[in-house]
Chain A
Amino acid sequence: MVTLGPFLKRELRLLARQKADWLNPVLFFIIVLSLFPLGVGPEPNLLRIIAPGVIWIAALLSVLLAAERLFKDDYRNGVVEQLVASRQPLLAFVLAKLLANWLSTGLPLVLLSPLVALLLNVDMPSFIAMLLTLLLGTPLLSLLSVLGAALTVSADKGGILLALLILPLYIPLLIFASAAMEAASMALPYHGQLAVMLAMLLFALALVPVAVTSALKINVS
């Protein structure tokens, strides 16, 4: 049985050495959200109305920004190929990539949410909904972007292909997450939306790691 620990340690070490890989998407998220009040005007009610959609679109795009380089280095230097040849450790490698991707792109968004709430004048009930949707939604974003990165790893300029492939899969998440936040701002229950998001997350969690290993196998053969 291959243990996940050393693989995760390697990914975290690489993130610590290649800070631009995860800092750029996080900075992008903050910059987009701080530009919105300047662009649409500082009208508090207007900001509150557009906040759910804006926050989630910024989150989607920033995660997408981090996705492209996920497997690129390891594909180029032969690590992926040699792991495919030895079969067993490939799944642990993929799981470590997934976890490291969420820790470096999803978790910072969750941690930054109080700042975002201030920037866009989000009230307390909506803020709690935002926190919950980000907690449930960002792991799903990571899962889907790792899948997209694995499928496009051998494409030279895979960036736009990756976006075309993955953005449609993000749409259900976008709809339910912003619906949950909207419901919260109107003091309506939003358990239903959260439950759907959780279901999507669990479904992806079960299928995506296997799909990623197959995608990597196809790309090296």
Chain B
Amino acid sequence: MRAIFPIVDSQRPVIKHQPFSVPVGQLLLQAQSLSCIRQDRVLFEQLSLQVHAGELLQVAGKNGAGKSSLLRLLAGLATPDEGQLLYCQQPVADVATDYAANLCYIGHQSGIHEQLTALENLAFWRAAAELPPADDFALLATLGLAGLEDIPCRMLSAGQQRRVSLARLWFSHSQLWILDEPFTALDQSAIAMLQQFFLQHLTCGGAIILTTHQPLSMVYDGLNTVELAYRW
């Protein structure tokens, strides 16, 4: 999608990063010997991983290997069949509210309502993130959605809907982002822009856990990969 109106630099939203609660390099999230069983099939067992502030963890694996299940466990949406999850060296169950406040999870489904416009969807997520209402025109223009702010999201293409969904990251104050297939349906330029934005988040001390089938083109020290094998 080409921007209809030229974007002046002054229109671009300035991202003000507050210092995150966990300093760079410190252990943010730790999983200890996690197991996950779905429909009598062991997706993974004895899985341990660590995410420090400033790191990106890519979860790789074939379709059905359990990537989304792992992400849902890490996001606290499901409880592991075995093992435990530590946030800042404390069990997540004990600090659930703190953890949830410092977490932005965007799952496989976009989290946008098709009957609402892009602006209305973003206003809702702003409210959910306890942020004051703001004008998101500039943000949507940055994401190549200029001129499409006011039409219901069901009229947008899959890639454009994904952009609306990911726009939430631009105003998120959370340190840890858990993203399930964020690049799905996005075109090359959007993927490049998103990776650039990820890099910015990481250098500010944020952390990202994501699944993707595409190799990441970004160059950064703190890139780690976990490969899940498909098990019968």
Contact = CB atoms under 8 A, between A and B. Distances in A.
Interface of A: 1-3, 5-7, 10, 13-14, 17-18, 73-74, 76-79, 81-89, 93, 220-221
The listed residue with most B CB atoms (<10 A of its CB), out of A73, A77, A84, is A77
B112 A77 contact: yes
Contact of A87 (B96, B104, B126): B96
B101 A88 contact: yes
**A-B complex: 8 closest residue pairs judged by Cβ atoms:** A78-B109, A6-B127, A87-B100, A85-B105, A89-B128, A78-B111, A82-B111, A221-B78
Interface residues of B, number: 35
22 contacts: A6-B133, A7-B124, A7-B127, A7-B128, A10-B123, A13-B116, A13-B120, A17-B116, A73-B115, A77-B109, A78-B107, A79-B112, A79-B113, A82-B111, A85-B75, A85-B100, A85-B178, A86-B103, A87-B100, A87-B101, A88-B97, A89-B130
Contact of B127 (A2, A85, A87): A2
A85 B77 contact: yes
A89 to B, nearest CB: 4
B129 interface: yes
Contact of A6 (B79, B104, B106, B123): B123
Contact of A18 (B110, B115, B129, B133): B115
Nearest to A217: B77
B107 A82 contact: yes
Interface in B66-112: 72, 75-79, 96-97, 100-101, 103-112
A84 B109 CA distance: 14
B76 A76 contact: no
B77 A220 contact: yes
A17 to B, nearest CB: 5
A86 B101 CA distance: 6
Contacts of B106: 82
B181 interface: no
B128 A2 contact: yes
B114 interface: yes
Interface string B198-211: 00000000000000
Contacts of B123: 6, 10
Contact of A77 (B104, B113, B120): B113
Contact of A221 (B77, B97, B104, B133): B77
A85 B108 CA distance: 13
B100 A82 contact: no
Given A2-B130, A89-B127, A77 B96 contact: no
Given A7-B127, A14-B115, A221-B78, A86 B110 contact: no
Contacts of B120: 10, 13
Contacts of A3: 127
B107 A86 contact: no
B114 A77 contact: yes
A40 B66 CA distance: 61
A86 B173 CA distance: 12
A86 B111 CA distance: 13
Interface in B39-87: 72, 75-79
Contacts of B108: 78
Contacts of A82: 105-107, 111
Nearest to A76: B109
Contacts of A84: 77
Interface in B125-146: 126-130, 133
